[in-house]
Amino acid sequence: MEAGPLSPGRRIISIVIKDEHETNVTERVSDYRPRPSWRTWLLGRSLATADAPHQTLGKAVALAVFGADALSSIAYAPQEMLVILAAAGATAFGYGFPIAIIIVVLLTIVTLSYQQTIHAYPGGGGAYTVARENLGDLAAQVAGTALLTDYVLLAAVAISSGVAQVVSAYPSLFPYRVALSVGLLLLIMLANLRGVKESGNLFALPTYFFLTMTVVTVGAGFARYFTGHLGPLTDPPLDAIKATQPLTLFLLLRAFSNGTTALTGVECISNGVTAFKEPRTHNAARTMVWMSGLLGVLFLGVTFLLGAIGAVPAESETVISQLARMVFDGRNLLYLGTIAATTIILILATNTAFADFPRLTAAIGLDGFLPRQLAYRGSRLVFSRGIITLTAIAALLIIVFQASVTALVPLWAVGVFVSFTLSQAGMTRHWWRIGHGQNQAGAPPADRAWYWKMVVNAFGAVCTAVVSVIFAVTKFRDGAWIIVLLIPSLVAILIIIHRHYNRLARDLSLDHLGRPARIRRHRVIVPIAGVHRGTLITLDYARSLSPDVTAVHISIDKAETERVRRKWEEWGEGVRLVIIDSPYRAFLEPFLEYVEDLSRQRQANERMTIVVGQLVPREWWHNLLHTQTAFWLRFALLSKKDIVVTEVPYQID
């Protein structure tokens, strides 16, 4: 058997011919290319699948894409830590730097743990993938929902914090902070819809500008400190937080919890390993070391200098603004440069969420726990639906919480450390399985250092679990209770989605299905409101399907019904007509009742098709002038089992 001719310009790639039923399989490449449109101007030209390898990132650009979240925490983590300490008075600020040291030690442990995750799972996925392969589906969904929550809150917190920096420099903008936050979020969304590589190149320079200005600020601050020229804070904000409670262990733990927001974003690189250029694992691991090193040094430096000047947290002016004006002697050009750089990095930190949230939703979607549409790549080879979903949820949070960083932060880090804990627990089991010959290949341990790697991950799991508990307890009344309840609820939703996909796959499976009985009778039903050109077009199509055609008219007006009867005798061409009287002037219900009656009498080898005519007017707004009966009829019939609904559009010139 030979393949038929193809239209000009089409190319046959391969033909597989003749199995036992002589089935032909033809493969060809489409010549379709998307035409330029407004989307091309806004997002760029569409990329072919073959362009994917060219969209990967080098270490320098990847640091800007995946490290902006972690690096940006330098701007808000010290402030959120001091917000809690301020409640105990100025003397409590002395605990800020020791707490920062503990946080940096924790950062080192987490970084070492994720280094191993990168090498063990070069396909990316981070905590979700590690938990699913080593701890099971339930743990994976907890890790996945925790990370998704983290990324949404990251987008909301980072944007809000960036706008807070602008408001510090220009207090008159304070009433517009919500509108500014949402507007900036939309701009970040558009940049990411243009593609990973383009957004990375766009954001790389501002990220390094922030690092440069932060290094200059910290360096100049220490130079003035050691020469005795860094004085105490002048003109403190009028709305500075007042002392209201004694210094207690619980308060110190709350301050530690707030400070650990500096660790958010550390896992992002392990989630996005596939975005790196080859050798992917080497480049990803090296980038994580750079990111963690910069974060640890600058976080300690900023915290120390804030204590040296006696910075006080306030809504009207951030502590970074206070530090910059003390280091640079006022609101001069260097001060404005620091504020601008900080604002930019906080806004760009949102880009880390836009880089990882869509990848994670795609991974979960492919596993059948989220809608699979989230795994489809858009015209620029990015997961467009995930990007738009993230924007919508983050914008809603910004509006609800009025772009307040202090109000949003308590919701944040619980999910981060839950995912940390599950990731490290999963890696611990991973190394244990390898050490006991239970790796995927079933071979002896390929890594002789498995024991020490297991110890590192186990220690990391314990540390992050302790922090998770501390954060949940100390921030429970401040809003963490929302996340504590939200994560189980989201996990339940993911499980329901997965059950739906599994049930659907089981119902559609061809396993153990014999050859279906051939259709012996094809009954076609055509609902008609009147007899006109559209009716004849629909009827002609129905007769091409089967000679067994029945037209059905619902009688609401006796005069109109009589006209239909007369015209049908002239134009019906012998097709049977059933007229159903509707005393209550309903159309859908009597027709559906008739279809149900026929359906109950149907045999196993009988097929029923409802053919519905649909007028297509010249202008879209003409639809408003018609009742759209065909649409509602089709909508109602789609839920009926074993009934085919076919629409016949007709245009009248």
User: How crowded is the C-beta side of 407, counted as CA atoms within 13 Å?
Assistant: 12
- Is residue 216 included in any domain, yes or no? yes
560 is in which domain, residue-wise? 521-650
What string of DSSP letters covers 92-138? GGGGHHHHHHHHHHHHHHHHHHHHHHHHH-TT--HHHHHHHHHH-HH
Domain identity same for 147 and 257: yes
Question: Residue 465 CB: number of other CB atoms within 10 A?
Answer: 17
Counting residues of the chain whose pLDDT is more than 90, the rounded percentage is 23
Domain identity same for 367 and 417: yes
Question: Reduced to 3 DSSP states, what percent helix, strand and coil does the chain have, rounded to the nearest 5?
Answer: 65, 10, 25
Residue pair 604/516 in contact by the 8 Å Cβ criterion: no
Tell me the two tokens of residue 267: 């896992």
- Is residue 457 included in any domain, yes or no? yes
User: Last residue of some domain: 502, 534, 562?
Assistant: 502
Gap between the Cα atoms of 155 and 384, Å rounded: 16
Gap between the Cα atoms of 488 and 140, Å rounded: 12
Low-confidence winner among 118-122, 314-318, 377-381, 549-553 (lowest mean pLDDT): 377-381
Tell me the two tokens of residue 590: 């009597």
Tell me the two tokens of residue 367: 């596993």
Question: Residue 160 CB: number of other CB atoms within 10 A?
Answer: 31
CA distances from 138 to 104, 141, 268, 487, 636 (A): 31, 5, 22, 12, 37
- Average the pLDDT over 139-155 and give the result: 89
The 10s digit of each residue's pLDDT in 20-51 is 555 566 677 666 676 766 566 666 666 665 55
The three-class DSSP label of residue 184 is helix
Tell me the two tokens of residue 499: 């059950």
The residue length of the chain stands at 653
Residue pair 295/73 in contact by the 8 Å Cβ criterion: yes
Domain identity same for 282 and 405: yes
Q: Match 């963490």 to its residue by tokens.
A: 480
- Is residue 38 included in any domain, yes or no? no
CA distances from 150 to 62, 243, 496, 593 (A): 20, 31, 22, 51
pLDDT of residue 15: 46
- Is residue 40 included in any domain, yes or no? no
Gap between the Cα atoms of 265 and 350, Å rounded: 10
Gap between the Cα atoms of 396 and 185, Å rounded: 11
- DSSP classification of residue 645: E
The 10s digit of each residue's pLDDT in 469-483 is 887 887 787 777 888
User: How crowded is the C-beta side of 471, counted as CA atoms within 13 Å?
Assistant: 26
pLDDT of residue 293: 93
pTM of the model: 0.70
Domain identity same for 253 and 330: yes
Gap between the Cα atoms of 424 and 431, Å rounded: 11
- Is residue 640 included in any domain, yes or no? yes
Domain identity same for 565 and 638: yes
Helices marked H in 401-480 — which ranges?
405-408, 413-435, 450-474
Q: Match 């390929």 to its residue by tokens.
A: 446
Gap between the Cα atoms of 638 and 457, Å rounded: 53
Domain identity same for 21 and 88: no
Domain identity same for 123 and 4: no
What string of DSSP letters covers 516-569? PPPP-EEEEEEEESS-SHHHHHHHHHHHHH-S-EEEEEEES-HHHHHHHHHHHH
Angle between helices 450-474 and 413-435 (to 10 degrees): 160
| pLDDT over 90 (residue 506) | no
User: Last residue of some domain: 473, 502, 531?
Assistant: 502
- Is residue 18 included in any domain, yes or no? yes
The 10s digit of each residue's pLDDT in 334-385 is 999 998 888 888 777 787 788 788 888 988 998 999 998 888 877 667 788 9
Which is nearest to 147 in space by CA: 326, 363, 425, 431?
363
H/E run at residue 607: strand 606-615
Number of separate domains in the chain: 3
**Candidate ranges 178-192, 403-417, 445-459; pick with highest mean pLDDT:** 178-192
| pLDDT over 60 (residue 569) | yes
The 10s digit of each residue's pLDDT in 196-220 is 666 667 778 888 899 999 999 999 9
Residue pair 92/253 in contact by the 8 Å Cβ criterion: no
Residues contacting residue 453 through CB under 8 Å, at least 6 positions apart: 116, 427, 431, 447
| pLDDT over 60 (residue 53) | no
Gap between the Cα atoms of 533 and 530, Å rounded: 10
Pairing of the two strands 11-16 and 25-29: antiparallel
- Is residue 509 included in any domain, yes or no? no
User: Last residue of some domain: 438, 470, 502?
Assistant: 502
Q: Match 């003109």 to its residue by tokens.
A: 235
Amino acid in position 279: P
Which band of pLDDT confidence, cut at 50, 70 and 90, is reported for residue 395?
very high
pLDDT of residue 599: 86
| pLDDT over 80 (residue 17) | no
Domain identity same for 477 and 564: no
CATH of the domain at 627: 3.40.50.620
Domain identity same for 206 and 349: yes
Domain identity same for 543 and 482: no
pLDDT of residue 552: 93
Residue pair 114/267 in contact by the 8 Å Cβ criterion: yes
Angle between helices 629-637 and 588-601 (to 10 degrees): 40
Does 547 sit behind a cis peptide bond, omega within 30 degrees of 0 on the bond before it?
no
Domain identity same for 398 and 491: yes
CA distances from 156 to 65, 178, 213, 404, 496 (A): 17, 11, 24, 9, 28
| pLDDT over 90 (residue 6) | no
CATH of the domain at 133: 1.20.1740.10
User: How crowded is the C-beta side of 357, counted as CA atoms within 13 Å?
Assistant: 28
- Is residue 48 included in any domain, yes or no? no
Residues contacting residue 557 through CB under 8 Å, at least 6 positions apart: none
| pLDDT over 50 (residue 4) | no
Domain identity same for 525 and 491: no
Residues contacting residue 396 through CB under 8 Å, at least 6 positions apart: none
Tell me the two tokens of residue 350: 């949102």
